[in-house]
Structures are given as C-alpha cells and as structure tokens.
Amino acid sequence: MILGRTERGRFPVEPVTLKILVAGGFGVGKTTLVGAVSEIRPLRTEELLTEAGRPVDDTTGVAGKHTTTVAMDFGRITLREDLTLYLFGTPGQERFWFMWDELSEGALGAVVLVDTRRLEDCFAAVDYFERRAIPFLIAVNCFEGAARHPADQVRRALDLDDDVPLLMCDARDRRSVRDVLVGLVEHAMTRTADRRHPVTT
C-alpha cells in the first residue's frame, strides 16, 4: 500500500463538520425541519405553552401549536462521507433571542425559515444575520393549504439583497430540507471565497 493512500487507492479525506443555524419566527417549523432531516434522534428543548405566556406568545396563524423551543433544537446530517452538518434550531420567541449570539458562534451560515402567513416574524432573523455578515438563505415553508406566492414577490416583501438565495421547501420532507442545506453550504462557501479573493478593478 502506498503511504497516504487508502486500500482503494484514494488519498484519505479529512472529515469536515460545519455548524448551521435554523432560524425564523415562532411556530414557523424550525423543530420540524431539524427533525425531518436529522440522522440521529434530535435533541429538543420544548416546553408546553402556558396561560402565563399567552400575552407574549402570539399564536395567530399557529393556533394548534402547544409547545415552544426554549433553548435550541439539535440534529445532524451527513451530506458526504467527509462532510457532516450540525444543525442548531434557534428559539423563535423574542424573550429567548439573547441565546442567538452564543448559538451563532462559529456557524458557517443560517437557514431563515419563513411562513408567508406571518412574514413579518422573520424580519428579526434577517436583520440579525445581515448585521453580523453571517451568510444565510431564505427557505419558504410551503404549508398544505397555504397560499403560494411567487419567489420574486416574497423577495421584494423581505427587501432581500440580490445575492441572498430564496428557496421553496417543505420542512417535513427530508429531501426538500436536504436541498435547502446543500444550497446554504454552497452559498456560504461562495461568500467565504469572495471575501478571501475580492475582485479588484
């Protein structure tokens, strides 16, 4: 066997792990997304919604929601034998936003999950990642029975920069979520490369 090669004749590949955030408003489907794609049993920190939280937990549009993430969701997916993503779902309620700084430490990028019925709920996440120059994309969660809006209309409503990808997805579907994650990794890698090699005129 040649030194530095595997038995198949290939050089060994150093495995890479990347940290990805899944953000968005309350009840948008972040926990569902992480659970749909994770190859391990997801870690969830959910608590029941209570009467005490009713004044601050706006359940308009998500009346059937009975729990909320109070710390984070965690899952893992292997995209290739040498590339694994660690997924961290952020809490959506404003009173838990203080945790975002810690969760975003070392993150490659973020998926901002959007429900077009409550579009304004994702503004805080978009602003957060824009201010910190963390690469992100928008994933529009297409609920059953929800009205479908053209991507360009959603983009205008969110006032997104042209280089921010916007994808349609189903947070319950593993393949759909995987496509979103691949899109984010590609976008983040491109952004990183552009910063390292700026175009000069």
pLDDT in tens, 62-104: 445 445 544 578 999 999 999 999 999 988 666 566 778 888 9
Q: Answer for the pair 104, 88: CB distance below 8 angstroms, yes or no.
A: no
Report whether pLDDT(153) > 70: yes
Where do the DSSP E strands lie in the chain?
16-24, 43-48, 67-80, 83-89, 109-114, 136-141, 166-169
Reference 189, options 137, 124, 153, 154; nearest CA is: 137
Phi/psi at 180 (nearest 5 deg)?
A: -65, -45
Tokens encoding 153: 């209309």
Position 2 scores a pLDDT of 39
Burial 9-26 (b: 16+ CB within 10 A, else e): eeeeeeeeebbbbbbbbb
Backbone angles phi, psi at 166, to 5 degrees: -130, 120
What are the tokens at 82? 């040498």
Give the amino acid at 62. V
C-beta neighbour count of 170 within 10 angstroms = 20
Q: 140 pLDDT band (50/70/90 cuts)? A: very high
Question: Which residues pair with residue 16 across a beta bridge?
Answer: 83
- Asked if pLDDT for residue 20 goes beyond 70, the answer is yes
The pLDDT tens digits of the residues spanning 155-200 come to: 999 999 999 999 999 999 999 999 999 999 999 999 888 777 665 5
Place of tokens 């890698």: 189
pLDDT at 143: 75
The model carries a pTM of 0.79
In Å, the largest CA–CA distance within the chain is 68
Q: Which residue has the higher pLDDT, 85 or 146?
A: 85
As a whole number, mean pLDDT of residues 98-117 equals: 92
More confident position, 56 or 190: 190
Contact in structure between 37 and 181 (CB atoms under 8 Å) = yes
Average pLDDT, the chain: 82
Q: Residue 115: enclosing H or E segment and its boundaries?
A: none
**Residue 83 — φ and ψ, nearest 5°?**
-140, 115
**How big is the CA angle at 151 (ends 185 and 108), to the nearest 5 degrees?**
15
Mean pLDDT, to the nearest integer, of 23-51? 81
